[in-house]
Amino acid sequence: MSASPPLPAPVGASPLPPDEFDRWYGGWDPLTPDTIAGFMAGFDRPWWIVGGWALEKFTGVRRLHDDLDVSIDAADAERLRLFLDDGGWTTWNADSGWLRPFDHRFREIRPDSNIWVRADARSPWILDVPLTPFRAGLWTNKRVPSQSMRLDEATWVADDGLRYLNPEIVLFMKAAQSRFEDVRNAERALPLLDARRRAWLRATVALGAPAHPWAQPA
């Protein structure tokens, strides 16, 4: 009897080794900032790039990327599903250590889970969409739900015309620094934060981890 597929790692957990992940779920051939605008053309709700690509755009320092992360308001998940289905793509919901189709059979998903996108079961994943809960029309920090702001305060528009999550927020989401790439990203980005961004990062990290180095006075 074959073993059951190992579950994708929950948020914050160590990911499966690449070979093991590929064996069960397939590999990645992700979109990039150069191709995402065309892919999302026609989707009439806000979206923005988060994660490593957002930090690369802020620092200007190139690095390798395993995937492309684009976020949307969690309330727009169904609209995104229908938009991608019209384009011939399949959507999957990754949440708390499991992965299942996000289609007409399984339409209810949690507002802080992820949507993964690929053409079909034999094709590579091309996009990861971590959902962002909004409250009263405001971007809301999924790790600090009491913290919210206008989307144009939480993001910025770069010279390529794309919207990116603010670097201090990306760093906060990666504050555990469990991967080598996260450590390198922090080393490059922290010195470039102005006083306002650094103060936000310090105060927000201190809410949950007051002993963290980023929570200490400059």
Is residue 63 included in any domain, yes or no? yes
Is residue 74 included in any domain, yes or no? yes
Identify the pLDDT of residue 164: 98
Please say whether the beta carbons of 115 and 81 come within 8 A. yes
HEC letters along the chain: CCCCCCCCCCCCCCCCCHHHHHHHHCCECCCCHHHHHHHHCCCCCCEEEECHHHHHHHHCCCCCCCCCEEEEEHHHHHHHHHHHHHCCCEEEEEECCEEEECCCCCCCCCCCCEEEEECCCCCCEEEEEEEECEECCEEECCCCCCCEECHHHHEEECCCCCEEECHHHHHHHCCCCCCHHHHHHHHHHHHHCCHHHHHHHHHHHHHHCCCCHHHCCC
Is residue 8 included in any domain, yes or no? no
Is residue 14 included in any domain, yes or no? no
Identify the pLDDT of residue 33: 97
Alpha-carbon distance 122 to 128, whole Å?
Answer: 17
Amino acid at 157: V
The residue with tokens 């399984």 is: 106
Is residue 11 included in any domain, yes or no? no
**What global pTM score does this model have?**
0.90
Is residue 16 included in any domain, yes or no? no
Average confidence (pLDDT) over 158-173: 97
Is residue 5 included in any domain, yes or no? no
Q: In total, how many domains does the chain have? A: 1
pLDDT in tens, 82-105: 999 999 999 999 998 788 999 998
Distance of CA 204 to the CA centre of its chain: 18
- Expressed as residue numbers, the domain containing 196 is 22-215
More confident residue, 210 or 179: 210
pLDDT in tens, 34-78: 999 999 999 999 999 999 999 999 999 988 888 999 999 999 999
∠ CA 4-9-14, nearest 5°, is: 125
- Other beta carbons within 10 Å of 134: 18
Identify the pLDDT of residue 181: 72
Identify the pLDDT of residue 178: 59
- CATH number for the domain harbouring residue 148: 3.30.460.40
> Does residue 2 register a pLDDT over 50?
no
> Does residue 148 register a pLDDT over 80?
yes
Identify the pLDDT of residue 12: 43
Confidence label for 177 from pLDDT (cuts 50, 70 and 90): low
Q: Which of these ranges, 76-80, 122-126, 175-179, 209-213, has the smallest mean pLDDT? A: 175-179
Confidence label for 15 from pLDDT (cuts 50, 70 and 90): low
Alpha-carbon distance 181 to 193, whole Å?
Answer: 18
Is residue 45 included in any domain, yes or no? yes
- Other beta carbons within 10 Å of 167: 22
Q: Which of these ranges, 9-13, 116-120, 141-145, 153-157, has the smallest mean pLDDT? A: 9-13
Alpha-carbon distance 49 to 13, whole Å?
Answer: 22
Report the C-alpha dihedral over residues 182, 27, 10, 108, rounded to 10 degrees. Answer: 130
